Amino acid sequence: MNEKYLYFRTVTDQDANDGIDDSVYVKASSITGLVPTSATALTVFFESVKNQAGNGTDDENVISDSVILNCTAGKVKQVIQTIVRAINSTAPLYNDGVITVADDVTTTYLTSTAAADETVGAVVIDSGITTCGAITVAAALS
């Protein structure tokens, strides 16, 4: 089976998508945890994008990155189940290997034939997700 990737984007204007804190693809196999961090938030932890885990000695830092998904109160468990089902799914919907978990874009950049921005609906994998709250990627260690 091919690797699957989860996609997250926090910005609402596609033109503002200019950094790893705005959008990120994460290998499904690099996810280290789906943790309810409040009644309305799910934090997805994954292996660091810019760092590698060390051998555990005191002079090394093992860094993980994260994405916070804002959720409707009481829907965090439902969101976790939906994400896990999508990762494990063999459905044609995910044949390209990309699972869009939360994409907050509502304004595209020059996509129409008139070369104008268009309004689109944000995309979430589960109706319990309200927005992609924050993407945190640790700086590369020296």
Domain count, the chain: 1
Check residue 58 and give its pLDDT: 55
For 118-127, b/e burial (b = at least 16 CB within 10 A) is eeeeeebbbe
Q: Considering Cα of 122, then 123, then 124, then 128, what sign does the dihedral take? A: positive
For 4-28, b/e burial (b = at least 16 CB within 10 A) is bbbbbbbbeebeebeeeebbbebeb
Tens digit of each residue's pLDDT, the chain (142 residues): 578 999 999 998 888 888 888 999 999 999 999 999 999 999 999 998 888 766 555 556 667 899 999 999 999 999 999 999 999 988 776 667 899 999 999 888 765 565 667 788 899 999 999 999 999 998 887 6
Pull the structure tokens for residue 130.
């309200």
Entry pTM = 0.85
Ordered strands of the 31-38 beta sheet: 31-38, 41-47, 64-71, 129-136
Full residue range of the structural domain in which residue 23 is found:
5-136
User: For residues 45 and 66, is the Cβ–Cβ distance under 8 A?
Assistant: yes
Q: What is the DSSP letter of 97?
A: S
Q: Is 141 domain-assigned?
A: no
Q: Is 22 domain-assigned?
A: yes
Check residue 142 and give its pLDDT: 61
User: For residues 130 and 70, is the Cβ–Cβ distance under 8 A?
Assistant: yes
Backbone region of residue 131 per phi and psi (left: phi > 0; alpha: psi in -120 to 50; beta: other values): beta
Check residue 107 and give its pLDDT: 84
Q: Is 142 domain-assigned?
A: no
